[in-house]
């Protein structure tokens, strides 16, 4: 995993022997956060909070400051509500539990689905995939290869067919097969394209015709190397489909994915999963503490 000979230690050096948080420390902090894609607004808010807290607590010592920094940044990240929550190992809150996976083009939706299926299956659950990306060239083939790789069934139709119809078929098949978890892939779409966003809504409504409480999860996949545009993505996908959780991919690269701090700050959506590679094992359950640590790792 990422090394974190970190920024926090760099900051510690900068403040060694000082009794207050001075400009230099705050400048360093600002640079680290903005360079991790946290964005100016959220960075300023975090820094304000740290300034207030330090003024109030009269911080002593560098160890203390490190803890304050880490805590304040972690506090921005929201936890998933405990009601209706799940882990790979625990029983699912509903059966079938339907996860609809959405996001802009190329972020890693289909790959994340493969990884999720692998993890659920490994934990002993029966999984069904739905290939509702009928648009992108070879999208169905790609998901089919994942279903073979993991060894889970897939519901599909030919390319160009109605994605809502595939989703409906999938839900129906899940009930008759008594699947535990259903994961539905959708085509990548840019959030500023209204007709494509409507299509997502239609997919959702069609599933609900069959199972009113579904989909239990709408997972928005974000590319960890995306900058401030991820905020727009969160905003529009939430408006169209009530996103319930985020997955951040490609964090095995040098990008930090800090924009999720801004998203958590503004939209209060929890991050649940992290993608750290292209293989089916390369999925982690999100851990606040480690994530904040890695924001400050130096390359």
Partner 1 sequence: MFNNLQDKLESAFKNLKGQARITELNVASTIKEIRRALVDADVNYKIAKEFTDKIREKATGEKVLNAISPGQLMVKIVKDELTELMGGEEAVFNAKGNPAVILIAGLQGSGKTTFSGKLANYLKSKKGLSPLLVAADIYRPAAMEQLRVLGEQIGVEVYIEPENKDAVSIAKNAIAESKSRNKNVIIIDTAGRLAVDEQMMTEVADIKNAVNPQEILFVVDSMTGQDAVNTAKAFNERLDFSGVVLTKLDGDTRGGAALSIKYTVNKPIKFVSNGEKMDALDVFYPERMAQRILGMGDITTLVERA
Give the range of 63-71, 90-98, 183-191, 256-264 binding ligand GTP by CB under 6 A. 183-191
**Residue 130 within binding range of ligand GTP, rule CB under 6 A:** no
Give the chain's end-to-end CA distance (angstroms, integer): 12
Residue 259 binding partner per list partner 1, Mg ion, ligand GTP, none, with a CB distance cut-off of 5 to 8 Å that depends on partner kind: partner 1
Question: Which is closer to partner 1, CB of 49 or CB of 136?
Answer: 136
Give the residue from 158, 152, 187, 182 showing the smallest Cα distance to 170. Answer: 182
Paired residues of 167 in beta bridges: none
Distance CA 106, CA 299 (A): 25
Q: What is the DSSP string of 227-278?
A: -THHHHHHHHHHHHH---EEEEE-TTSS---THHHHHHHHH-PPEEEEE-SS
Instruction: Choose one: 86-94, 129-137, 178-186, 287-295; the region binding partner 1 (CB under 8 A).
Output: 129-137
Interaction partner, residue 276 (partner 1, ligand GTP, Mg ion, none; CB < 5-8 Å by kind): ligand GTP
Ramachandran sector of residue 287 (left: φ over 0; alpha: ψ -120 to 50; beta: rest): beta
261 binds ligand GTP (CB under 6 A): no
Cβ proximity to partner 1, 167 vs 280, nearer residue: 280
Site for Mg ion in 81-110 (CB under 5 A): 109-110
Minimum distance from residue 131 beta carbon to Mg ion (Å) = 9
Site string for Mg ion, 107-146 (x = CB under 5 A): --xx------------------------------------
Could you say which of 6, 39, 130, 215 contacts partner 1 (CB under 8 A)? 39
- Confirm or reject binding of residue 232 to partner 1 (CB under 8 A): yes
- Binding partner of residue 61 among partner 1, Mg ion, ligand GTP, none, CB cut-off 5 to 8 Å per kind: none
Asked if 217 contacts 97 with a C-beta cutoff of 8 angstroms, the reply is yes
Instruction: State the Cα–Cα distance between residues 194 and 169, nearest whole angstrom.
Output: 25
Torsion of CA 81, 84, 90, 92, to 10 degrees: -150
Among 26, 34, 165, 211, binds partner 1 (CB under 8 A): 34
Q: Looking at residue 81, what DSSP letter applies?
A: P
Ranges within 16-45 binding ligand GTP (CB under 6 A)? none
Phi, psi of 16 (to 5 degrees): -55, 130
Phi, psi of 240, rounded to the nearest 5 degrees:
-80, -35
Question: How far is Cα of residue 186 from the mean position of the Cα atoms in its chain?
Answer: 16
Q: Which residue is listed with tokens 């083009």?
A: 105
CB of 113 to ligand GTP, least distance (A): 8
Q: Does 163 bind partner 1 (CB under 8 A)?
A: no
Conformational region of residue 106, where left means phi above 0, alpha means psi within -120 to 50, and beta covers everything else: left
Measured between alpha carbons, how far is 80 from 86 in angstroms, rounded to an integer?
Answer: 10
Is 105 near ligand GTP (CB under 6 A)?
yes
**Contact residues for partner 1, defined by CB under 8 A:** 31, 34-37, 39-40, 104-108, 135-139, 141-142, 144-146, 149, 190-193, 223, 225-230, 232, 250, 252-256, 259, 278, 299
**Contact residues for ligand GTP, defined by CB under 6 A:** 103, 105-111, 133, 136, 139, 187-188, 190, 249-250, 252, 275-278, 282
**Contact residues for Mg ion, defined by CB under 5 A:** 109-110
């Amino acid at each position: 995993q990422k090394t974190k000979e970190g920024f926090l230690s760099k900051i510690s050096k900068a403040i060694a022997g000082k009794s207050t948080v001075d400009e230099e420390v705050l400048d360093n902090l600002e640079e680290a956060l903005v360079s991790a894609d946290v964005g100016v607004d959220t960075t300023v808010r975090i820094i304000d909070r740290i300034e207030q807290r330090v003024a109030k607590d009269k911080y002593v010592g560098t160890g203390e400051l490190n803890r304050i920094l880490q805590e304040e940044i972690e506090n921005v990240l929201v936890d998933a509500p405990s009601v209706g929550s799940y882990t790979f190992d625990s029983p699912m809150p509903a059966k079938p539990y339907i996860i609809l996976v959405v996001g802009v083009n190329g972020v890693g939706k289909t790959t994340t689905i493969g990884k999720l299926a692998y993890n659920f299956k490994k934990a002993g659950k029966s999984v069904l995939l739905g290939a509702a990306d009928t648009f992108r060239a070879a999208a169905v083939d790609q998901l089919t290869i994942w279903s073979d790789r993991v060894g889970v069934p897939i519901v599909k139709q030919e390319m160009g067919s109605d994605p809502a119809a595939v989703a409906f078929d999938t839900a129906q098949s899940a009930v008759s097969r008594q699947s535990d978890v259903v994961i539905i892939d959708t085509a990548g779409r840019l959030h500023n394209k209204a007709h494509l966003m409507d299509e997502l809504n239609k997919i959702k409504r069609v599933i609900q015709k069959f199972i009113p409480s579904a989909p239990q999860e709408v997972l928005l996949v974000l590319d960890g190397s995306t900058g401030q545009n991820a905020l727009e993505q969160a905003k529009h996908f939430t408006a169209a489909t009530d996103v319930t959780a985020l997955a951040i991919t490609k964090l095995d690269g040098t990008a930090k994915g800090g924009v999720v701090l801004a998203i958590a700050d503004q939209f209060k959506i929890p991050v649940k999963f992290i993608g750290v590679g292209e293989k089916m094992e390369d999925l982690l359950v999100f851990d606040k503490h480690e994530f904040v640590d890695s924001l400050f790792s130096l390359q």
